[in-house]
Structure 1
């Protein structure tokens, strides 16, 4: 499966090879696909599963647009990690459990950023929730790429004996 995904992405990379490094293109392809999945899942959860209604969990009421964030995250967290680990940053020599922990921390920060931007766009600026989600995504994606490259999946230099 990994090789099939790489073959497809690398096939489409050829026209962009003079402008974008391969790793960045792979991140855009994988991250873009996972982000598109996230937006579609978010919209489906918000409109068709939650019917735009608030949800009460353990006595805490969560607005529908925020609950949909949690629901889509349950699917896009594992897909995002696997794509990053095996497709985009496969040259990282950090242990998988360290990568997973760092990815979890990163996703937590990104989720917080998503939450704050969604509150801003939907609750304060009164944007439609799906539009707010799309705008939020643009801000969070740049932060996520830099953090994954420089922290989560970095390549440790191995000292020579």
Structure 2
């Protein structure tokens, strides 16, 4: 499962997916990540270059620490069997099979989410948490840069 689910169309920032954990420590750690993200290669323009590539790729494999990449090009609402409805935003998912990180564009903002807890269990749709560590952000940035170069090469082939 590569989709990331939100309760609504609002950015979560330092909150967990259910907006139930509003930790002061999480807020402090997230502020550091958010500050670094302002000058990062991860921005809306580069996300659009990747997601709206000329080959219309929705998934690919790159030579990075998170080699499997899945793209969500069109946000939508998902009506689950349990009667709940979830928002699936515009996103880029990086995974190695064990960890799963999503770069999400929602409400005009970029959310960095750790969705590793779900691991295929559909009952854990709202189990993602914010990326709180600079070390993890740096890893995502490296993989994002590799993906951006990969998409540029693929676009040149068209």
Give the TM bin, normalised by the shorter chain.
under 0.3
Rg larger in structure:
1
Q: Which of the two has greater helix per residue?
A: 1
Higher relative contact order (CA 8 A, sep 6+): 2
TM superposition score normalised by structure 1: 0.27
TM superposition score normalised by structure 2: 0.28
Q: Which of the two has greater strand per residue?
A: 2
